[in-house]
Amino acid sequence: MTIPSVGILGTGSYLPEKKMMNIDLEKIVDTTDEWIVSRTGIKERRIVSDDQATSDLAYEASLKALQRAGITAEQLGLIIVATVTPDMTFPSTANLIQERLGAKKAASFDLAAACSGFLYGLTMASQSIRTGLYQYALVIGAESLSKIVDWEDRNTSVLFGDGAGAVVLGKVDEGYGFLSFELGADGGGGDFLYLPGGGSRCPATEKSVKNKQHYVKMNGKEVFKFAVRVMEQVSESVLEKAGLLKEDVALLVPHQANLRIIDAARKRLELPEDKVVVNLDKYGNMSSASIPVALDEAVRGNQVKRGDHLVLVGFGGGLTWGGCVIRWDQEMTSA
């Protein structure tokens, strides 16, 4: 039995209309536009409206990915939603998407690996197709992080934004598609980036709400050190697994958390700036949505052509990390 090659057939993304500029944050917390840009590279971010939830963003991104892949929702065998901001604890956001799309034949579940979630989802979905379990899979990274951010905390409120990106996976020509994967985790660093409230350890109570336990907590210095190290290591590791060299990389699509972290990874791979996708300045850190949104914008912007080798790499709370190499199989198309 020949094991099929699996790749990305179509991409899609959706960003809420509302923009929050750095100058808007100056009115809320003790910060300045110069402080935020110099330390993160972020200039603005998108924020969901009061009546929008993560599934709304995910649905819109999914419609675009399915259209560009040229398949219908009824053909999907699997839907994975990577998110740390689901609509509710259960049913899963993926189940809500399954129903809304009309993907009656698809199994569906959510995956929580923070900012690495999309890469975890790609790995799971790809292997499911390679083994013959499913023909097509939809992998979504979607977040409404503005709903779990303490807007009075300068260390976290300036970083995050909302959005969703989606891809459809399926079989591609031999020699194309995913060439290597790597996933990892270090639970010992779990308290560097976490949300303490809302689970069985700290259920919602009047006290937990008063103590702001339902907002993101972060040790910025530790996360930064971890991120710089792991982004470099994983990028080099997936290239080695794929049998490729640094000069074979046509495009790096990194998690969009901090411009200094992205630059460190770029320099380690000896890539010029035009071979790295950066949209952090427009959207901030969208956690699991950042890589698929960046990939979709690169594809629609004709930065990717058939035969190009792409490196996708990210890190997140947990601590988690992941990466993959793709040899792109689709022809350039206009947006």
Q: Determine which helix (DSSP H) or strand (DSSP E) holds 217, and give its type and residue range.
A: strand 217-218
Q: Give the dihedral of Cα atoms 164, 168, 169, 170; nearest 10 deg.
A: 180
Residue appearing with tokens 């995910």: 58
Which residue out of 255, 258, 279, 324 is catalytically annotated? 255
Catalytic residue among 22, 95, 279, 285: 285
Among positive and negative, which fits the CA dihedral 294, 30, 198, 16?
negative
CB 109 within 8 A of CB 92: yes
Question: Is 202 a residue of the active site?
Answer: no
- Its sign, for the CA torsion 121, 189, 316, 244, is negative
Helix (H) or strand (E) holding 223: helix 220-242
Specify whether 115 is catalytic.
Answer: yes
Q: What is the DSSP letter of 15?
A: -
CB 294 within 8 A of CB 279: yes
Whether 324 is a known active-site residue: answer: no
Distances (CA, A) of 223 to 66, 218, 315, 319: 35, 8, 9, 9
Residue pair 176/5 in contact by the 8 Å Cβ criterion: yes
Q: Which residues of 149-162 are buried (b: 16+ CB within 10 A; e: fewer)?
A: beeebbebbbbbbb
User: Which of 115, 258, 279, 324 is the catalytic position?
Assistant: 115
Positions marked active-site: 115, 255, 285
